[in-house]
Structure formats: structure tokens, C-alpha cells
Amino acid sequence: MRFAPTIPRLLATAIAIALAWMTALDAVRQTPQGAPPAGPPSIALPEGDGKRLVERLCSECHDPSLVIFTREDADGWAVIVNDMGARGAKAKPEELQVITSYLAAHFNRQNEFAPFKTVGAAAATARNEQELFAAGKEIYGTLCAVCHQPDGRGRDKVAPPLVGSELTLAPPAIPVRIMLHGKAGPVNVMPALGSFLSDDQIAAVLTYVRREWGQSASPIDAAAVKGIRTTTAGRARPWTTEELKQVSGQSGKGAPYE
């Protein structure tokens, strides 16, 4: 039966999309009147039939660039887009079909769309920890700060704090896994970023969050990320706190990362 293995994947996608909507909407609510909406950096979507519809219709609730965090086949995107229509999106059935086809063509597991390729690109040529830290700061500000906040203290019901985080400050194998495959928490799911960021970029942003805001955990290099990426290559779902603690073999120190 084809449905059985598909349901968990669609459920995880739906949760991730819901988190993205909630993040964007919450950011808009907190923006002073007259100020530009806060939110993730706007990433240019690929050209193609359907792009304008995605930008026009999806922007009613969230930044259209949030779709870059999702990879689905045509059936998976159809579920998401049709749900959007059921929730009140002002689109005709034929427009929803165009959107589905566009998303399935550009955001599937075969095609590579790398909008963050140039963000923190200096990480690849970093000669010391300071340069790696600087590249990581750029990546964090572009990709992570909208949820975890510039001060690393997170947002209630959106993203947990990174300051004093048990898992962020754990041995490198733990935060690297979270970046590569995502993290399931009690109220949300952090998206997997392994397909969007290189080993150098992941090493840089983790070095930054582990050594910023008064924290002093060890830096992480690209070789460590590459090794863990290879070891966990077959994983297709986000990690849980319990699984990560089993990997580390210890509870660590600091406030729990949930």
C-alpha cells in the first residue's frame, strides 16, 4: 500500500508548514504599524509557470520563500496546496493546480534549489576560528535569527533558546545532527537544513552559536560535519531529544533544548 509510508512524511511536512505560517504571522503581529514586516529574508523563487501565483496567493499568510524548506512529490504538494485552499486561500481550482505543479517541479527531492549557497560563503575559505565565527554570524542572521532571535533566546512556541541549550552545547555530534536532519520538539519541528547548507556553512553557524552570547563550547569544523553527514545519510526524519541523548550517552549541562 502506497499510503502507509507516505502519511508520516506528509504529517511532518504539515507540521513544518504550520510552524512556518505561525512564525511569519507572529512576526507580522509584532511589527510596529508602518514598519516593514519582520520575517525571514525574502529568497527569489525559481522562474516558471506558477511563480507569480505563489508570490501573490501565498504571501497573504506568509513569505512565499518559506517553501524552500519543504521537499515533496506532486501528491505531497497537492495535499498541502489543497489544504491551503480549504483554509480560505483566494484561488480557483485551476490556480491551485498550477501552484502544485510549480512547487512539485522545483521543490522535490531530485531538483536542487540552493538559495543559501552564497550566504556565509567565506566559511569555505576560513583560515581560523575568528573567520569561521564571522561567516557563521552571517548565516545565523540570515537564516536562524527570525525564529531563534538575534540574542539566541528563542521565541515562545516557535523556537527554543540556544543560550544555555543542553543540545546546542553538547558534543558536536549532537548539534550537527540537528542541523542536518531537523529536531522534533513538543510544539514544533525544526526543519532539516542538511540539503540547503554545506559542511562548511553548518560548521560555521554552529561555531557561532556555541561561542556567542558568552558561551564557550568548542568550535566545529567541516570535517566533523562531513563525517556525521556520511554516518547519518539514510535518515529521513527529524531527531527527538531522547534519540540525541542516546547518541551522546549523557544528559549534558544547561537548560533542555525542547
Q: Which candidate, 71, 82, 97, places its Cα nearest to that of 196?
A: 71
- pTM for the model stands at 0.65
- What angle (nearest 5°) sits at the alpha carbon of residue 244, between those of residues 254 and 152? 45
What is the distance between the alpha carbons of residues 139 and 118, in angstroms, rounded to a whole number?
10
Query: For the chain, which residues make up each domain, given as ranges?
Result: 3-106, 121-248
Buried b / exposed e over 7-46, threshold 16 CB at 10 Å, is: eeeeebbbbbbebbbbbbebbeeeeeeeeeeebbeebebe
Mind listing the pLDDT tens digit of every residue in the chain (258 residues)?
A: 343 444 444 444 444 444 443 443 343 333 333 333 344 444 567 888 889 888 888 776 665 656 666 677 888 888 888 888 887 888 889 999 999 999 888 888 766 666 677 888 899 999 999 999 999 999 999 888 888 999 999 988 778 899 999 989 999 999 999 999 999 877 677 888 888 899 999 999 999 999 999 999 999 999 999 999 999 998 988 999 889 988 876 444 443 433
Q: Which candidate, 24, 176, 10, places its Cα nearest to that of 77?
A: 10
* CATH numeric code, 121-248: 1.10.760.10
